[in-house]
Chains A and B, each alone.
Chain A
Amino acid sequence: MNHFSNRAITGITKVGDIYCPKNGEFPAFSEAAGTQYLNNLVSNVPEDDFSSLNLVLIIFSFLPAFILKWLIGVFERSMDNPGDSILPSLLRQLNLGLRGLCYSVYYSEFSNPEYKGRTPLQIIDYHLNRVELEPVKSEATFV
């Protein structure tokens, strides 16, 4: 069962604040994102990939923000690196993995229950109209 350690959650929160900072109407990741839901979103991630990610996030939790910001810049630039060697390949995968995690609890219904302001989904004015055929069962959430 994949489960982020508390230190890893600290790490993803620090990374999240770089991807999604406080910016005008937008709240900071650390304010609005429901990091408590992250464990629900990684159940299908292969165990060895998850262990590596958890370890990287633990290391991130100890790094100063300015170093993390520099590192994320390196990750982003790896996307334009034409090289196929191991390091840029790993950086690209890490970059996309981290962005996926952050955006999944920022631009989604999984916001921090203690956050009372407008959520990022409300700020971008995203709303879906679902015309259901029959009552939804409990497994399907956030109807």
Chain B
Amino acid sequence: MVYDFIVVGSGSGGGSLAYYLNKSGAKVLLLEAGKFYRKNTFPRTEAETSADLYWGGGIEFAKDGKMGFLRTKMVGGSSIVYQCLMDRFDDNAFDAWKDESGVDWFSNATMNEHYNQVESDMALHTFTEKEWNRNAKLFIDGCDKNGYKWANLRRGQSDCALENGNDCIGCLGGCIRDSKQSSLVAFIQKAEKEGLEIQADTEIHKVEPGNETCKIHGMQNGNKVSYEAKKVILSGGAFGTTRMMYMSGFKKKLPALGKKFSSHPQFMWIGFQNEPVDAHKLAFQTVASKDPEFRKKGFKLENVFAPPISLAMLINITGSKHQDYMKKYRYMQCIEVAVRDENVGEIISDKNGKLTISKPLTDQDKERKTNGLQAIKNILLSSGANEVFESNFYFGLHLMGGCVMGTDPSKSVVNPEFNVHGEKTLYITDSSIYPNAPGINPGLTIKALSHKLSTQLIKG
């Protein structure tokens, strides 16, 4: 059988693309390497969430062992576990992409209609004061005392039952209410009802684009499988798509494959208050910095927290001192800085798909980190923290680049039409095509770019 379209990967990019293509009446197959969980089958413990939903069994590391990467493996991809914060890019982000790639349509003027369409297909909610938990209130208090500007976050969610006491930190393992507007909820389940064919547990290892069709090969539940479509669109994320391209032998033809990797390195520091903060209760992430100076300096701050195992990982000491800190779990106030990093990282895969990630922090990254952490410390101390724990562990959730878009085939992997350079039947849409780090949550723009590609593919 020859499908019209096969989409490989079901995260923010793939899930939304499959939805729009399926809606057009095309014969679409959506493939996903991970399992198919639903609201009533997501793991209910943090330990199982890490072990079952993430590649590598929890966390993958850069080759220097300094930075951890979190990458999920299930239908819906990372949108299942992320916070579903829905921010549009500003002109600064698109201008930086245009400069890096030579792609002239990177602009809000072009992307507005795609943002509008994607937003209209999701339930969006901007938090208000009544939803702030104490961690948020302390963040705001500290920002105000230091003259830092902040704003309520906009999130994809429909009904989180906060008024009934639901603690949303649990949805870091998948939303149990189908409230969070993950790719699964906002797009895939809707498309499923309209006939979209979805095959989970299917890992693609080889892509063979031809002039008329594209063939792909992989394993499904231990059995070899092959598929064919008029057009194949890879959407496995920065690591997944780059890996498939490597395993298919594209590195010789496209030397930029794997290059320009960035990841918004994130550092979380903890302040200890005298009264319980209960940062894990109710809506655990509702506000963030919105300070033009921070934007200029290349970082942003978010009011965040983590469940116990992840929190224990941040406290990089051992033994009884570690336990003494953990005993103050309910008294912890937490803030994170995300750095708009330079795209000097690299993703490399061997022929068997084993990944090696290089992600050094440049001098500029380190300066941005230092400035951000100083701002965190200012907020924590001025909002009443009696001690600040300065964790040295950092991680990346926004994995970007590796198959970047651009006009020059020697410096990019896909052209401005999302086509892999020189291949008429193979496309990519996900964060791997990001030319550099926007310094803004990438999720909404991934979906908007997928919508742009869908309109192009549907027109033929």
Which of A's residues lie within 8 Å of B, judged by CB? 18-21, 23-26, 37, 40-46, 48-49, 72, 76, 78-80, 84, 88-93, 96, 99-100, 103-110, 120-121, 123-126, 128-137, 139-143
Once the chains bind, are B65 and A93 in contact (CB under 8 Å)? yes
Q: Which residues of A contact B317 (CB under 8 A)?
A: 76
Query: Shortest distance in angstroms between A112's beta carbon and chain B's nearest beta carbon?
Result: 14
- Listed A/B pairs (21) with beta-carbon separation below 8 Å: A20-B323, A21-B319, A23-B324, A42-B57, A43-B57, A44-B54, A44-B55, A76-B318, A93-B65, A96-B65, A100-B50, A105-B47, A107-B312, A120-B326, A121-B308, A126-B308, A128-B167, A128-B307, A129-B167, A140-B40, A142-B45
Which of B312, B354, B392 touches A103 (beta carbons < 8 Å)?
A: B312
Q: Which of B158-166, B212-220, B228-236 contacts A (4 or more CB under 8 A)?
A: B158-166
Q: How many angstroms between the C-alpha atoms of A103 and B327 in the bound complex?
A: 14
Once the chains bind, are B73 and A104 in contact (CB under 8 Å)? no
Chain B, 21-61, contact with A by CB distance < 8 Å: what is the 0/1 string? Answer: 00000000000000000011111111110111011111101
Number of interchain pairs (Cβ within 8 Å): 178
Once the chains bind, are A76 and B65 in contact (CB under 8 Å)? no
Once the chains bind, are B326 and A142 in contact (CB under 8 Å)? no
B313 within 8 A of A: yes
B66 within 8 A of A: yes
Chain B interface main SS type: loop
Chain A interface main SS type: loop
Query: Shortest distance in angstroms between B266's beta carbon and chain A's nearest beta carbon?
Result: 15
- Interface residues in B309-342 by Cβ distance below 8 A to A read 309, 312-313, 316-320, 322-324, 326-327, 329-330
Query: Shortest distance in angstroms between A8's beta carbon and chain B's nearest beta carbon?
Result: 15
Known contacts A40-B48, A103-B308; 15 additional CB pairs below 8 A are A20-B323, A21-B319, A41-B51, A44-B73, A79-B393, A84-B360, A91-B65, A96-B61, A96-B65, A103-B312, A108-B47, A110-B47, A129-B165, A133-B40, A136-B176
Which residue of chain A has the shortest Cβ distance to B34 in the bound complex? A44
Q: How many angstroms between the C-alpha atoms of A76 and B319 in the bound complex?
A: 12
Q: How many angstroms between the C-alpha atoms of A125 and B316 in the bound complex?
A: 21
- Interface residues in B62-78 by Cβ distance below 8 A to A read 63-66, 68, 73
